[in-house]
Amino acid sequence: MTLVVASSPLELSGVESLAPEMRENLKILPIGVGKVNATLNTLLAIQKYSPSLIVVTGSCGAIREELEIGDLLFPNRVLQWDIDLERFGWPRGSLPSASGEIEGTLEFSPLSEEYSSYRGRGVKHGVALGSGDHFLIRSEREKMGWLIDELNLWAVDMESYGVVKAAQAMGVEVTIGRFVSDDARGRRPKNFEKMIREASADLFALLSQSLIEREKFPIIL
């Protein structure tokens, strides 16, 4: 079974566009906003549902000018952009573990590498995503050149690191698929809810197709 998580039910609404036989192979779960909610609720879901794969989905904010609203991102790594212990000699985005070792970027396999575009949306693979418990606005991002120059980020969210951390700690395969809701200039669509629903539907369509290709679904279409 594949567990698909996002911060809110709206971001998961795209599952409704899938055929019933596809939905049967997915467990859909809102996990709340922020890294703590994401970590805790992912751990509880792993214990309850024993998924073979977890997919983090939902919206993200673009850091790069190349990304447009509605583009799809399939990162291969995630870090905590809001962690800064540089004064103690730790790299930005890193924390000491319980054993004192550096814990920073978490790596995983990207979900889809077959598309450069999908249903008119741009698709980016193998990029870095940053998670933080702070909603970045344009004026803040413009003062944080290190988001790109140092951390090499393409977009930011508030949950992915927590989900990936929990999944990897429990030995469950995990990956991320997100859509851009805010571009690097801080622009958002006038009908935000409509955009989220449409982007979620397209992301779930690509998600289901990618999972079939990975033989996660025992279904032949």
pLDDT at res. 21: 86
pLDDT of 198 reads 98
CA distance 162 to 37: 8
pLDDT at 99: 87
pLDDT of residue 218: 46
Whole-structure pTM value: 0.92
Structural domains of the chain sorted by starting position, each given as residue range(s) with its CATH number in brackets:
2-213 (3.40.50.1580)
- Per-residue model confidence (pLDDT) at position 55: 98
- The predicted pLDDT at position 215 comes to 60
Give pLDDT tens digits along the chain (221 positions). 999 999 999 999 999 999 998 898 899 999 999 999 999 999 999 999 999 999 999 999 999 999 999 999 999 999 999 999 999 989 999 999 888 888 999 999 998 777 889 999 999 999 999 999 999 888 898 899 999 999 999 999 999 999 999 999 999 999 999 999 999 998 999 999 999 999 999 999 999 888 877 764 443 33
The helix/strand/coil state of 203 is: helix
Strands (E), the chain: 2-6, 26-30, 53-56, 59-62, 72-74, 77-80, 95-96, 102-103, 106-107, 117-118, 121-125, 128-131, 153-157, 173-176, 178-182
